[in-house]
Structure 1
Amino acid sequence: MKILALDTSALVAAVAVMEDDRLLGEYMLNHRKTHSQQLIAMIKEVLGSLELAPKDIDVFAASTGPGSFTGLRIGVTTIKAMAYATGKPVVSVPTLDAIAYNIPMNSFAICPVMDARNNQVYTALYDWNENAQKRITEYMGIPVSELVELIKGMGKKVIFAGDAAKMHEEYFKKELGDDCMIAPGNLLLQRASSVAHIAYLKAVDNEVESSFDMVPFYLRKSQAEREYEKKLCKGC
């Protein structure tokens, strides 16, 4: 089973191809958010280097959110179009699940954190249980201070990953001390190979869907939508 996976949920643009659980190729850029200009070229480069065409892919996967509203739309639309054109299924992979999957099996809780602005993060908490990743909280968009209090209540050491990990590193270490650590740079940000591997596990369990069914998972409304609703409420 060959899987093509994308992650465009934040600044990083990433493409990976796996055959079953074997990584064949991965292309990642962490330089300006110009996914609309770079993504197709990245896909062509990876497939071309592997001597593959879109028709050779069995399952298409995308990181579906939360994250950048524009970035998610670009990634999801690209995967939907390729899957539709080739008549192949898709797999939706929550971005937080994929970031957490960067961290190998260990006894720490894993906490991916994505910047949601205004000192808030998109996050969830995960454990490794019997060689499998298990999410132990809901997906959340919460203030960083609330996340820290939640972690303190767990009584477990935690590893942070994601673009907000470095952003809030000083605060995390001040509040949690030796009970927290930040993932190393090679595991910190979104990786399409993690999206691909989760997609492989889901596809094996037949958790695939039609290209028509894949939609971004925004977790909360955009700033524009919230501002619009405020204006409507003022007129109530």
Structure 2
Amino acid sequence: MKILSLDSSTESATCSILDENKVYGEITFNYKKQHSTILMTQIDTLLKSMKSSISSIDGFVVSKGPGSFTGLRIGAATIKGLAQGTSKPFVSVSSLDSLAYNMAYTSNIICPILDALRGNVYTALYKFEGTKLKKLTDYTVISVEDLITLLKSKNEPVTFIGDGVYKFKEELSDKISNVKFAPNHLNLSKSSSLGELGLSLLKEGIEDDIYTFSPLYIRKCQAEREYEKKMEKLKND
């Protein structure tokens, strides 16, 4: 089963084509958020480089988040359009699952962190049991201080991965013992990693509905929060 996978949940825009046996190609661009203008170009370049067409793709995988609200909407719209246009299935996979899968098969707790601004991160905790990635906690947005407290209570070696590493590495190193950090090339969201997880789901017959799927935002966007704050202020005036 040949699939096309894309992830636009972070600053990195990435797409790949793979099947059960190998990754045929992957394009990743990690410089500013220009997802709306480069994603389709990346997909077209990848297909042309393989002397192939979108009709050769059997299914699609997209990141459902958490991450950039705008990036997630662009990714969802792109995959929905491709799935509808080709009448092929698609499935979504969490960006946090994908990052954790980059660290196969460490024995440490894996803690992917994506910067959620204002001292917060999107995260979940994982461990590998054999070749299976097991999620230990639910997806959440949490302050770095509370995350440090949580990990200290686990009292186990932990490996951090994701774009939040660049911002919080010093603080995490100072306050948590027995900690490791993924190398730079693994901190990038990888559509190939996302694709492998999604391919397994598609082969099991698991897919998303084009009409009901929406990204995993975890929290409300800034515009919604500001609107609610404004409404609350008017109510109390």
TM-score band by shorter chain is over 0.9
1:186-205 equivalences in 2 (<5 Å): 186-205=185-204
Root-mean-square deviation (CA, aligned residues, Å) is 1.0
Partner of 2:179: 180
Are 1:213 and 2:221 counterparts? no
Give the partner amino acid of 2:219: R
CA contact (8 A) 1:21 1:200 kept: no
Equivalent residue of 2:142, what SS? strand
User: Which ranges in structure 2 are unaligned for 5 or more consecutive residues?
Assistant: none
* Aligned-partner SS, 2:47: helix
Partner residue in 2 for 1:167: 167
Cα deviation per residue 1:150-204 (whole Å; 9 max; x = unaligned)?
Answer: 0111111111111001210000000013x11110111111000011000011112
Question: Does the 8 Å CA contact 2:17/2:25 hold for their aligned counterparts?
Answer: yes
Structure 1's consecutive aligned runs of 4 or more residues displaced over 2 angstroms after TM superposition are 209-214
Distance 1:3 1:55 in 2: 11
Counterpart of 2:161 in structure 1: which amino acid? A
Percent of aligned positions that are identical = 40
- The CA distance in 1 between the partners of 2:184 and 2:169, in whole Å, is 13
Equivalents in 2 of 1:145, 1:84: separation in Å? 43
What's the CA shift string for 1:32-86, capped at 9, x where partnerless? 1111111111000111111221111111110111111111111110000000000
Task: Quote how far apart the aligned CAs of 1:21 are.
Answer: 4.3
TM-score of the superposed pair, with normalisation by structure 1: 0.97
Given that 1:66 and 1:94 are in contact with CA atoms closer than 8 Å, whether structure 2 keeps it comes out as: yes
Matches for 1:55-74 after TM superposition, within 5 Å = 55-74=55-74
The 3-state SS of whatever aligns with 1:235 is helix
Aligned partners of 2:125 and 2:21: how far apart in 1? 24
Matches of 1:69 and 1:36 in 2, distance apart?
Answer: 13
Instruction: State whether residues 61 and 199 of structure 2, in contact with CA within 8 Å, keep that contact through their aligned partners in structure 1.
Output: no
TM-score by length of 2: 0.97
Q: 2:28 aligns to what SS in structure 1?
A: strand
Distance, in Å, in 1 between the alignment partners of 2:129 and 2:206 is 21
In structure 2, how many angstroms separate the alpha carbons of the residues matched to 1:114 and 1:96? 8
Q: Residues 43-62 of structure 1 correspond to what in structure 2 (within 5 A)?
A: 43-62=43-62
